[in-house]
Structure 1
Amino acid sequence: MSDAEEIDRLRARVAELEAERAAEPGPGAQPADRRSVWRSTAAGVLITLACVLAPLSVASVWASTVLSDTDRYVETVAPIADDPGVQAAIADEVTVAIMENLDIDALTLEALGVLAEQDNMPPRVADALPALAVPLSQGIESFTHSQAERLLASPAFETVWDEVNRVAHTQVVTLLEGNEGGAVSAQDDTITLNLAPIIEQVKQRLVDQGFELAARIPEIDRTFVLVESEAITRAQRGYVVLNALGAWLPFVAVGLFAGGVYAARNRRRALLRGSIGVVAGMVVLGAGLALARTFYVETTPAGILTAESAANVFETLVRFLRSSLRAVAVLFLLLAVAAFVSGPSTGAVRARGSVQRGLGSLRGSAEAAGWQTGPVGVWIYAHRGALRITTFLAGGLALMFWSEPTVWVVVGVAAVVVLVLLVIELLGRPPVTAQPAG
């Protein structure tokens, strides 16, 4: 065993003995200190409540910000317009609506009958004209469907889709609150979207392509089924609760967690276990979303959306929720790692020793090259505790006020915090004491 490994082992053992001695009662203490028992119990209860409320906090923030805010809602549902299955279903609905209001079969038969009665029409041609009614009707329907598909695949449809959802957002919120009516309504576990603006765009496109008959299409009140599932009623109830909790539940959860860590006898251990508990809560929330996705896909009729399209719609609607729970999980996983590394275990002591030796070697090389921190280094060393706390607080505030903290945002902020802490350790230099003569 090398000298460095032996020193690390001794440091770890000393840290363990100090922790055990700190946990033991003093000479005048009672064998069972009630105050200490109550403190530990309170810490455990507070941290447990925080771990339970953590996933609910993430869901409540998503419900109160993404679903209740018009701009965020439109941003959320925008990718649904690019789904081929959704586009195909809307194109079919629009085509059926237009064909029903034009009554192409009757108009085709009437037009062919007028042609057959012309005096200069050969008898053989006149007799064959009625047989063209079906192919002509099918051709007009195919032409209408193709124009609808072109509109839905064009950038113009994205604009129409955003406008429709922006207007309908108020009705969506009303729907989730348990009410009905407007452009979006819920009946028999079904959510429908008004297609009138889209039909109007297809109508104008047909006229522009020379199909003047489309100008006779009246204003059509047609709806498209967005969701048909037994879970709508449950979603309404859940939205009301989560939206009401969204404003204050995250602060309550953070306060409970901080209070539990502060009340614990061993705060580092409490931080480690509490952080792991929050990560476990995020895993449970992710598993719940996976089950909800399966249930939604299985309960959506194939005549409404295909299984693939239904899955894409669900993933699009909850993508911000998934991003948030992953970011929170990574944040508390990093806190757990930090709590472990700062502990008395052999691995943690060795890791800290390696970092200190590396910083010392780097500092020595810099001083040998003539780079001195001077009074600044002495000041940093004297105030290193306050600087560490300030760095942690700055990182926490950055994540708190970040509009959409993703996993990479959390990792980036954590990396900056670690880098600043390393710089503090590198620049901090204890004051040089005068050596006695001789």
Structure 2
Amino acid sequence: MTGLKESADKRVFNNILGAMGNTPLVKLERIGKDLPVPLYAKLEFMNPGGSVKDRVGANIIEQAEKRGEIKPGGTIVEATSGNTGVGLAIAAALKGYKTIFVMPDKMSNEKILLLRAYGAKVVITPTAVGPDDPRSYYEVAKKFARETPNAILANQYHNPDNPKTHELSTGPELWEQTDGKLTDVIIGIGTGGTITGVGRYLKSKNSNITIVGVDIEGSILTEIWQNKGKIPPGAYPKTYKVEGIGEDFLPSTMDINYVDAIERAGDRESFLWARQLVRQEGIFAGGSSGSAIAGAIKYCKKLSGDRLPVVILPDSGSRYLSKFYDDKWMREFGFLSMEFGETALGDLLLAKPNKQLFSATLGDSIRKVVNVMHQNAVSQMPVVDKEGQLSGLIEEV
């Protein structure tokens, strides 16, 4: 038997790379119900590796092969927040390459374990250092690429194959899925590859399409965009918790000329929107998707008339179960408010005003105990022995 014939229409492929792309477009009926325009989301987490970076990772390797930059059995090195690493790891596994990924220490444990599952070597570096610091994940990745025989640096921050990927795939998909009717695209910005590639393609089809970036508070990409590509005096990056969005420098893969507007989102609203997305729409997406939704909501509230905005949701929530999908983690960093059902019992006890605690001893008369309970408006009291150890509980019935 010869097997099946590859068919994109039937979704039959010769290998996993064929399953990348052509992700669905879904209307956000509940989250977007109060907006003046309909809002659609492109679900990039439905790529095989769970993120928009599948497209980039596979294409970077393909183009490097075409240029003869990597030899059989070679090693691919990259500085990554995790998702580009997965895209590279998928293609590398299929083609027989080794992989080394360097990640900042703020990234989720799920991402680290996932990359190791693909056979990658994962190196962790400090988050709170500048991009030129020798300890930064950018510089450590460069060092590994230099010192490892037959290795290349994928270099997503400066590799033109990054935006080109989206110019050739993501942009055309958006145009075709909306029959050319989309008017606005909202995209989180990190390397700038997605927003540049999508923007370049869509503006070639219709220059009136508005390209909106979403930046995270703590990043300086907004200030760089406002200052026409230069870091303005006094613009200093701050640490933030959302992964895979924002930067402390301007990657050469980002062309700010394709960005018409930028909305900003903070950690807390990003995480809460991601949690709302899965609870209201059944869409299980990551923190940067929450940022994208936060930015899209802010932007779409300003729209009117016959507009068709689309927001790109970059990755899956499965990478963040130990982080913002965990109530304990959210409380630890102050991202959950004291709402019923979202609060630990210990938090409730800490929130109550301090009051004197009353107890009865085994030798107290019943009359005395009842009087103490009535005088202090309590319906229960612990009973302790001579050493102060709990012996029982007396309760008013």
Higher helix proportion: 1
Do these two structures clear the TM 0.5 threshold for a shared fold by scoring above it?
A: no
Bin for the TM-score computed over the shorter chain: under 0.3
Structure with higher RCO (Cα < 8 A, 6+ apart)? 1
Larger radius of gyration: 1
Give me the TM-score of the superposition, normalised by structure 2. 0.20
Higher strand share: 2
